[in-house]
Amino acid sequence: MQDTKKIDPRTVKRREAIIATARELFCEHGLAGTTLEMITAEAGGSRRTIYELFGNKDGVFEAVIRDCTGRITSVMSDLEMSDLPLRAALIHYGETLMTLLTMPDTIRYMRLFLAEVPRFPKLGKVFYESGLMTGRRYIASYFERQMAEGNFPKGNPWQAAVFFSSLIKADYDIRQMSYIDWEPQEKDLRSHVIAAVDMFLRGHGLDPEKMTS
């Protein structure tokens, strides 16, 4: 049951253009505040094409959310495993995670998606599990390895990942979603991450002072 038809390259291109434009407009004006005409005006094309490709307005929204989810997922994949010593690795993770979470786009996507959760419950699952949880899975598997190698006290790697990312993100996410056009200072983020990592280490019986950093 594979696609017997070839896909017209025009269709792919139009589709991408519409999603990209709609994403920006939705983020700025919300779903209800964006008309299909605003989308075509900026992306080119005509409403006709939108209905052809997405069925209706909600179809565009779904496609946009899936696109945003993919973007967040791929951006979370930047949390590559590191072979630095534990404390340095955690600081590196923390700073990367913080950078990703405080990116204006991440915040905008989250606002957009959270707003419409009640009317698109399935998208909530997709966004949370495929998008936001990606980073946590990386971190949990890191702790799992560190526990196996004896660098970190044995325990529940998933809980460690939860506490670690909670300490790192603190309430920067909610605060940024609450304030328009506010971004934390980079040096505040750095000192926050270091404080969080050290507290995390002490919380697991490790002494940050004694760790090669």
Partner DNA sequence: TATTTATGGTACTACTCAGTACCAAACGTC
Partner DNA sequence: GACGTTTGGTACTGAGTAGTACCATAAATA
**Which lies closer to DNA via its Cβ, residue 8 or residue 83?**
8
Number of Cβ atoms within 10 Å of the Cβ of 139? 24
CA 95 to chain centre: 14
**Which lies closer to a second copy via its Cβ, residue 10 or residue 125?**
125
CB of 61 to DNA, least distance (A): 10
Place of tokens 């991450």: 193
CA–CA dist 22, 9 (Å, integer): 20
**Which lies closer to a second copy via its Cβ, residue 148 or residue 195?**
195
The CA-based angle 81-83-87, given to 5 degrees, is 95
Q: Tokens standing for 78?
A: 């930047």
CB of 192 to a second copy, least distance (A): 9
**Which lies closer to a second copy via its Cβ, residue 49 or residue 96?**
96
CB of 15 to a second copy, least distance (A): 26
CA–CA dist 112, 71 (Å, integer): 14
**Residue 127 contact partner, candidates a second copy, DNA, none, CB within 5 to 8 A by sort of partner:** a second copy
Q: Which residues in this chain contact DNA in the complex, by CB under 7 A?
A: 5-6, 8-11, 14, 34-37, 40, 44-49, 51-53, 56-58
